[in-house]
Amino acid sequence: MEFGPMTAWGGGAFWRKSRTCVLSTRVSSVRALILLVVLLSACASKAPASLTPRTVPVWQANEVVVALTALEEAAIGFNREQICDEAGTCRAMLSDAYTRVVLEAAKDAVQTIRQTPAGWAAVGAAAIERIEMRLGAAGLTRLQPYIMAVRLVLSNLGAA
Amino acid sequence: MWVTLGIQVVKIVLPIVMELISKHYNATGALPTEEEILNQLQENADKAIAVADAWLEAHPKET
């Protein structure tokens, strides 16, 4: 059985129409797993009891970094996969330009969070806003579940 | 009904809860120390930056 990654999110109408576009179940499973990990991470919003108030922001910062990494990997995965129309013209599911937007924003955010972990909330939110502003409709459609997952992580960790 | 609910809790809810609990413990079963959390952040940040750098270097911006 083969189907596109978007079917997992209920957005695979175009995908199902195209006979030439086939991805393995493994690819969509990996993406679903990444999303699940991020969502599970979002549920774990309470820091371990062994941490001091000084270290709790570091733990929270780490959760945000993991979520941003999942977003990076999703963007790269969509960029790697080709989508073809019935005329046989193929293009990346996420363009190089949009992938660059995601990776540059996420990398900048992670670098800042590493230097100042206490600023995870503002930095993480700013990165997501930057990505949403610069992504076109096609890019947003592809990455919406992952962007939502990062927002959920930020929200559950206590970001305003 | 209660049997079905119980099976669902055991098969679905419990594994998720165990996963969440295990996230808070290190390999020895102890709660993570401050040093471990700091190291984890550095490692994960390095990984995130490396993932982005690898792709950006392989796909240079067209001028």
Helix (H) or strand (E) holding A84: strand A82-84
CA dihedral B18, B23, B25, B27 (to 10 degrees): 100
Tokens representing residue A115 in the block: 């230097």
Bin B47: left if φ > 0, else alpha if -120 < ψ < 50, else beta.
alpha
Q: What is the pLDDT of residue A22?
A: 38
B24 at A interface, C-beta within 8 A: yes
pLDDT of A131 above 70: yes
Q: Are A114 and B33 inside 8 Å of each other by CB? A: no
Is B23 in the A-facing interface, judged by CB distances under 8 Å? yes
For A41-82, the pLDDT digits (tens) are 555 567 777 788 888 999 999 999 999 999 999 999 999 999
Of A78, A37, A50, A41, nearest in space to A155 by CA: A41
Beta-carbon separation of B37 and A62 below 8 A: yes
Return the H-helix or E-strand segment holding A46: none
Q: Average pLDDT for residues A105-123, to the nearest whole number?
A: 97
Q: Which residue of B23, B37, B55 is in closest CB contact with A76?
A: B55
Chain A CB contacts of B29 under 8 Å are none
Helices (H), A8-134: 13-17, 25-43, 56-80, 96-115, 120-134
- SS3 string, A18-30, reads CCCCCCCHHHHHH
Say yes or no: A133 contacts chain B, CB-CB below 8 A: no
Residues in a beta bridge with A84: A90
Tell me the average pLDDT across A131-150: 91
Residue B36 in this model has a pLDDT that exceeds 70: yes
Is residue A140 a contact partner of residue A54, using CB atoms and an 8 Å limit? no
Token duo for residue B43: 């490692």
Distances (CA, A) of A84 to A35, A74, A104, B33: 25, 19, 27, 50
